Amino acid sequence: MLKTRVITALVMLAVLYLGTVWTTPYQFAIFVSAVLLVGVLEWTGLMGIQSLAHKAVYLIVFVVLMAILAPALQIIATTRLLTAPLVTSLTGVGVLFWLVAFWLIRHYPENSSKWVNVPSTALMGFFTLIPTWVALIELKYLVPNGALVFALIAIVSFADIGAYFTGRAWGKAKLAPKLSPGKSWAGFWGGMATCLLLALILLYPLNRYIVQLDAAHMLAFIVVAMVTAVFSVLGDLFESMLKRSQGLKDSGKTLPGHGGVLDRIDSLTSAAPVFVFLITIVFADVTWL
């Protein structure tokens, strides 16, 4: 199992690198769309749908919605105008959804009878995946070499890695025992500390190669990174909640040794829209290099 996990992880890293660095923004949009559509199919399992026809209908609705939004996003993105109302609105909707998700997580399983049904979880899928799709595409268009995409992924990954090791060492008080017994408050704070260290390290390449920063913008970036890391925890817990509601261990079997695509990007689905929404505010007045 460990060998399988390692091999799959290496393949995923290679695909991520090639799909992000060695692509144009338009090609990257296609790459992200393909990955998220696999996640859409897995989401039907979290909805409890078994019928292939119903799965196909849900997937087609996503494809149509993406096709409607894509031209407008491309026009906005090619101008590198991240503060365009459409981008701000769609990522803002994502932020609001994750605030609602926090409430659902806090009151699980007492409130599960109110939302464990196909219409509710289907709607959750749109609020989860569409803002993520928009956010990732806009980051690549804004900085075509993919640096902002990797910065986001690094923030999410370091928060997770820091949480894992500090949680193993000192994790006694559980963060969400009803959803994820392995997560602890020590792990949470360890993840935040690791993310803070990463944010400080990222300031130099960010300022030198991506965007000119003054002291206020540097401080704001650190805050953005920390808030993004906090929200990344919500994505992980939210998917755990949906899987528990359907009695599932993994969202799928797409990635050998790792479960499904959603199991790998759950934290990213909550972090991406928050990250983009916040930098539209923090960096609205700066010049991108």
Q: Which residue has the higher pLDDT, 143 or 34?
A: 34
Mean pLDDT to the nearest integer, 140-163: 91
Q: What angle do the packed helices 215-246 and 85-106 form, to 10 degrees? A: 50
Mean pLDDT to the nearest integer, 46-70: 93
Query: For residue 257, what pLDDT band results from cuts at 50, 70 and 90?
Result: low
Contact (Cβ atoms closer than 8 angstroms) between residue 36 and residue 132: yes
pLDDT at 91: 92
Q: Is the pLDDT of residue 191 over 80?
A: yes
In this prediction the pTM is 0.93
Q: What is the CA radius of gyration of the chain?
A: 18
User: Over the stretch 123-132, which tens digit does the pLDDT of each residue have?
Assistant: 999 999 999 9
The β-bridge partners of 255 are: 259
Residue type, 65: L
Mean pLDDT of the chain: 88
Contact (Cβ atoms closer than 8 angstroms) between residue 207 and residue 196: no
- What percent of the chain stands above pLDDT 70? 92
User: Over the stretch 99-128, which tens digit does the pLDDT of each residue have?
Assistant: 999 999 999 988 888 899 999 999 999 999
Residue type, 66: M
pLDDT at 13: 85
Contact (Cβ atoms closer than 8 angstroms) between residue 25 and residue 149: no
pLDDT at 3: 63
Residue type, 129: L
The burial class, CB within 10 Å (0-12 / 13-18 / 19+), for 178 is middle
**222 alpha carbon, distance to own chain's centre:** 18
Q: Is the pLDDT of residue 25 over 70?
A: yes
Mean pLDDT to the nearest integer, 244-250: 88
45-59, 74-88, 230-244, 246-260: least confidently modelled range: 74-88
pLDDT at 41: 95
Q: Is the pLDDT of residue 151 over 70?
A: yes
Query: For residue 80, what pLDDT band results from cuts at 50, 70 and 90?
Result: low
Count of CB atoms situated within 10 Å of the CB of 6: 11
Q: What angle do the packed helices 118-142 and 85-106 form, to 10 degrees? A: 140
pLDDT at 239: 94
pLDDT at 32: 95
pLDDT at 138: 87
